[in-house]
Chain A
Amino acid sequence: MAVTVKTFANASEAAGALSSDRSARYLGGGTLVMRALNEGDVSISTIVRAQDQALSRIDASGPRVTLGAGVTFARILAERDLSFLHAPARSIGGPAVRNMGTVGGNLFAPNPYGDFTVALLALDATVAVQGGFGARDIPIEEFLQARDRQAGTLVLSVSCTRPASADAFRYRKIARIKPKGGSVITLAAHLPISGGRIVGARIALGSMAPTQIRARAAERALEGRSLDTATIAAAASAAAEGTSPSDNALGSAWYRREIVGVHLRRLLSGQE
Chain B
Amino acid sequence: MLELRKDIFADERDDNLKEIGKGTQRQDMLGHITGTSSYFGDHKLQGMLHLKVVRSTQAHARLRRIDTTEAERSAGVRRIIRGADVPRNLNTLLSLINFGKDDEPSLAVDKVRYKGEPILAIVADSEREAFEAIAKVKIDYEPLPTVFDVEDALKPGAPVVNETYPKNAFIYHDVYDHQRLRFGDADAALATADHVLEQRYQMSPIEHAPTETNGAIAAPDTNGRYVVYTSTQALFFSVDTCAKILDVPSNTFHFIGGTVGGGFGGKVDTLTEPLAILGAMLTGRPVRYVFGREEEMQYGPPRGAERIYIKDGVMRDGRIVARKIRAYFDSGAYTRLSSYAAVKCAAHLPGPYTIPNVYGDVYCVFTNRTPATAMRGFGVTAMDFAIECQMDKLANLVGMDPMEFRILNAYRDGDMKAHRREAKNTALIECVQVAAEKAKWPIRDEFRRASSRTDGGGSRAAIPPTPTDSRARPTAPAQQRTSYDRLPPTVTREPPREPPPPSPPPPSPRPVTPSHGATRFSSVFGTRRR
Contacts and interface: CB of A to CB of B under 8 A. Distances in A.
Interface stretch (B124-132, B320-328, B334-342): B124-132
A40 B52 contact: yes
A1 B133 CA distance: 10
A252 to B, nearest CB: 14
B292 A42 contact: no
A42 B293 contact: no
B293 A39 contact: yes
B131 A2 contact: no
Interface in A1-26: 1-3
B75 A40 contact: no
B292 A2 contact: no
Contacts, number: 24
A38 B134 contact: no
Contacts of A41: 131
B135 interface: yes
Interface in A39-72: 39-42
B293 A40 contact: no
A12 to B, nearest CB: 29
Contacts of A3: 128
A217 B292 CA distance: 43
A38 B292 contact: yes
B126 A40 contact: no
Contacts of B294: 39
Given A40-B52, A40-B134, A42-B135, A2 B293 contact: no
B131 to A, nearest CB: 4
Contact of B75 (A1, A35, A38, A39): A1
A35 B134 CA distance: 18
Contacts of B292: 38-40
Interface residues of A, number: 9
Contacts of A39: 292-294
Nearest to B297: A249
Interface in B91-138: 126-129, 131-132, 134-135
Contacts of B293: 35, 38-39
B134 A2 contact: no
A35 B131 CA distance: 14
Nearest to A38: B292
Interface in B263-295: 292-294
A259 to B, nearest CB: 20
Interface in B230-284: none
Contacts of B132: 1, 42
The interface centre, meaning the residue of B126, B127, B128, B292 with most chain A CB atoms within 10 A of its CB, is B128
Interface string B487-509: 00000000000000000000000
Nearest to B133: A42
Nearest to A2: B128
Contacts of B131: 40-42
Interface in A194-223: none
B52 A2 contact: no
A3 B129 CA distance: 10
A1 B292 CA distance: 20
A41 B128 CA distance: 9
Interface string B129-157: 10110110000000000000000000000
Interface string A168-182: 000000000000000
Contacts of A38: 292-293
A35 B293 CA distance: 9
Interface in B58-95: 75
A42 B135 CA distance: 8
Contacts of A2: 126, 128
A99 B293 CA distance: 21
Nearest to B294: A39
Contacts of A1: 75, 128-129, 132
B215 to A, nearest CB: 13
A149 to B, nearest CB: 23
A173 B293 CA distance: 25
Nearest to B295: A39
A2 B128 CA distance: 7
Nearest to B131: A40
A164 B354 CA distance: 68
A43 to B, nearest CB: 9
A35 B127 CA distance: 14
Contacts of B52: 40
The interface centre, meaning the residue of A3, A38, A40, A42 with most chain B CB atoms within 10 A of its CB, is A40
A40 B291 CA distance: 11
Contacts of A35: 293
Interface string A76-106: 0000000000000000000000000000000
Contacts of B127: 40
B458 to A, nearest CB: 50
B138 to A, nearest CB: 15
A42 B134 CA distance: 10
Contacts of B75: 1
Interface string B47-59: 0000010000000
A41 B293 CA distance: 13
A30 B112 CA distance: 35
Nearest to A35: B293
Interface in A129-168: none
B88 to A, nearest CB: 29
Contacts of B135: 42
B133 to A, nearest CB: 9
A38 to B, nearest CB: 6
A38 B296 CA distance: 13
A226 B294 CA distance: 48
A47 B294 CA distance: 22
A255 B130 CA distance: 39
Contacts of B126: 2
A216 to B, nearest CB: 36
A101 B75 CA distance: 34
Contacts of A42: 128, 131-132, 135
A23 to B, nearest CB: 12
A202 B126 CA distance: 49
Nearest to B52: A40
Interface in B466-482: none
A41 B126 CA distance: 14
A31 B75 CA distance: 28
Interface of B: 52, 75, 126-129, 131-132, 134-135, 292-294
6 contacts: A1-B128, A2-B126, A38-B293, A40-B292, A42-B132, A42-B135
Q: Which A-B residue pairs are the 3 nearest by beta carbons?
A: A40-B131, A42-B132, A39-B292
Given A41-B131, A42-B131, 14 more contacts: A1-B75, A1-B128, A2-B126, A3-B128, A35-B293, A38-B292, A38-B293, A40-B52, A40-B128, A40-B131, A40-B292, A42-B128, A42-B132, A42-B135
